[in-house]
Amino acid sequence: MSENNKLVPPHGGVLVDQVVTDEKVRFDLVEKAKTLQKLKL
């Protein structure tokens, strides 16, 4: 078990924070795309 834990970073680690950041960036891009579509209409 302990050997497997070394391969997987703990929750709340840098890797998890990076995933959350990517989700926020993706959400922002979607919102910007929606806004651009409204402006075109």
Query: Which residues lie below 8 Å from residue 9, measured CB to CB, with a gap of 6+?
Result: 15, 16
> pTM for this one?
0.48
Residues of the chain with pLDDT below 50 are 1
pLDDT of residue 12: 54
Query: Which residues lie below 8 Å from residue 16, measured CB to CB, with a gap of 6+?
Result: 9
Domain with 6, as residue range(s), is: 2-40
pLDDT of residue 28: 94
pLDDT of residue 40: 81
pLDDT of residue 32: 94
Return the H-helix or E-strand segment holding 32. Answer: helix 14-40
Q: How many domains are contained in the chain?
A: 1
Taking the mean position of all CA atoms in its chain, how far away is CA 26?
A: 7
pLDDT of residue 41: 72
| Six token digits for residue 28 | 């922002």
